[in-house]
Amino acid sequence: MVDESLSPSELLLAQIIRSVLFAGAVPVPAFQDIDARELVIQAHTHRVAPLLYVALKQLQLFDQLPNAAGHVLQRSFMQNMRRNGWKYGELYKVLDQLEASATPVVLLKGAAVAATIYPNQHYRAIGDLDFLIHKQDLPRVAEILTGMGYSAQREVAAGFRQENLGEEIFIRQDPMPCSMEPHWHLFSLPYYTRLVPIDWFWQHTEPVEIGHRQALIFAPTAQLLHLTAHYYLHHGGNHLRWTCDMALLLARHGPTIDWPTLVEAATRFEVLQSLKSSLAQVAAVWGVEAPPAAEALLSRARPGLKEQVNFAIVAVRTMDARNLWDAATAPGVRGKLRYLRQLFFPSAEYMRRRYGMRDQRLLPFYYLRRWGNGLVKFPPSAWAMMRNALRMRRGPGAMP
């Protein structure tokens, strides 16, 4: 089965990486037939350049790259090693201070999977450092991060993230750019923050040692549910790095995942379509499939009409039209109106920082600029939703 949502160069990129990560992979074609420049570009686009570098080295194909492409790829690998090492160092400082105050924390996404399911943590490019906390522990976490030189990222209005998204973002630029994101919910969409009980995920954690420190990560059942839902709800279902995470998790833990619990939770949390579509991509791109019993269970499970409608709306790669859905699903009439007001009329401080506005008197014109940009981006976003809806009409398996 071939994933038709990926270009030939993207499929070839996955094929090369797959040949060294997973058993029984298909052979790589003759290297002289490969457009090396396009391959390296796609590797950076999908944030899998370190994996491509490692794969080409292990296949003894790296030396056949043109000098320029090889230099770029090798430099990317070395830079990623330095970034990952520094980011984990920052994370360890946070973990040490949270442990000292007996504050529970669960590592999420890149920081969790790079250190637990990849052959080497430097093979996986890590972006933001995400971790799950209890909301009441946010003041303590904020104190730690500001003490380390991080500052809260600007937002459209004071308290917008806490009220609607279940997260805060702290950033630091020196000596390396780094973003720390404490979450007290996993999905930054008003509809899902109310629908999904975060306690379920806290109940499905397990201890792990990272950097000679004890930490918590999600157990495989919850990890797969989170990765697949996050992939569609936050990334629109298009990124090789995320599907590679799922494939490695499935290859390592597939037989031990509690599939009935997983399918029941996915159905109840209205992310069953995300789970099924993600696993279909993993099978098509990486050749890793769920166990036969799990496949049978998944084939019998059907997302409800409400979930299908929501999936068509949220599983898009351009978010402009989806912002209106987020506003519509905010709690209460006042909450919906407040969301829209903050979306269309962000604070003057946000506008100044976001658009480089130097003269406060120009604020009305920058609002017009913001609305104009939204109007330009709205039609492609709405069209993506319509395409999703048409695919869903053909059946749940029609989604890429």
Distance in angstroms (rounded) separating the CA atoms of residues 177 and 227: 24
Q: How confident is the model at residue 26 (pLDDT cuts 50, 70, 90)?
A: low
DSSP labels, 272-287 = HHHHHHHHHHHHHHH-
* pTM confidence score: 0.89
Residue reference for tokens 């790589």:
28
CA atoms in the 13 A half-sphere facing the CB of 295:
8
- Chain length of the chain: 400
CATH code that applies to domain 88-218: 3.30.460.40
Cβ neighbourhood burial of 305 (10 Å; 0-12, 13-18, 19+)? exposed
Residue type, 240: L
Q: Is the pLDDT of residue 10 over 70?
A: yes
Cβ neighbourhood burial of 292 (10 Å; 0-12, 13-18, 19+)? exposed
In this structure, of 75-84, 99-108, 383-392, the range with the lowest mean pLDDT score is: 383-392
Task: Give me the residue spans of the domains in the chain.
Answer: 1-65, 88-218, 219-301, 311-398
Q: Is the pLDDT of residue 398 over 50?
A: no
Distance in angstroms (rounded) separating the CA atoms of residues 396 and 299: 10
